[in-house]
Structure 1
Amino acid sequence: MAAKTALERATEELRALELRRKGITLDEIAAEMGISRRSVDRRLKSALERIGSETTEQVRRRSEDQIDAVLRHAYRLLELPNLSVNERVRVLGLVLQCDRQRTDLFGARWPSHLIATLEIDNAKELLDGARSAK
């Protein structure tokens, strides 16, 4: 029997992966493709290594979307008139944490003095708002 070409092997890998994602068992895939169960297992592992489950860009986009959703919710909370000072501080802390995560996501780092300045400014703003509310 002649050895399979790289294209034939890649085609088998993708076919095995497609069948597996449809929920077909390894034994059923082996029977359908005319190969052993162990060969199916090797084809699946190879296919996953070849294509990866998610690209780095897909993971980054998904993470960014999650951060954006949290920020949208946080900003809606900040618009509530009956939010206490402590609740505002916690929500603003969450906003700052999301900003840090977004910065990390893009591979940039904020200098620690900038983070401290932002936190101090947020605290001052909250205290001024609390004083004027009285």
Structure 2
Amino acid sequence: MIVQACQADLAIGLYAWAHYLLPIVSCNPQARVKATERFEAIYPTLKEVALAGSPGSKAMKQVSQKIFSFAAKAAGESVSELSGEATNVFIWCLTQNVDCYKQWDKIYEDNLEASVSVLKKLSDDAELGTSFEYGKPKIPW
């Protein structure tokens, strides 16, 4: 049934999968911990591959603009590790595409926690001299 629903309408298929199959698959809390540990192990490599490319290139501008809003939401989360990582990605987006500044200007009121986190990170890095070289921000990781 789910396969047929997914072929007709992806949203309905994903809804059915999330509500009917996911609870069956992820009923073991220890399995979630293992899956999270595996993801944490591959995340640095995954991030490096996903964000690799020529700085300022058309492809990187598109990538940065697409992930910017996700990074903004995650940077405001209460989980410090997630927030810190998302803040770094947020800053990376700003360094790749000036249009992200315009996008930030539009969304900052709805994402105040994220904006505070980003500004604090930029301020701390500027004081330490770690993120800025010749007036241009570097990738903070």
TM-score with structure 1 setting the length = 0.28
Q: Quick check: which has more Rg, 1 or 2?
A: 1
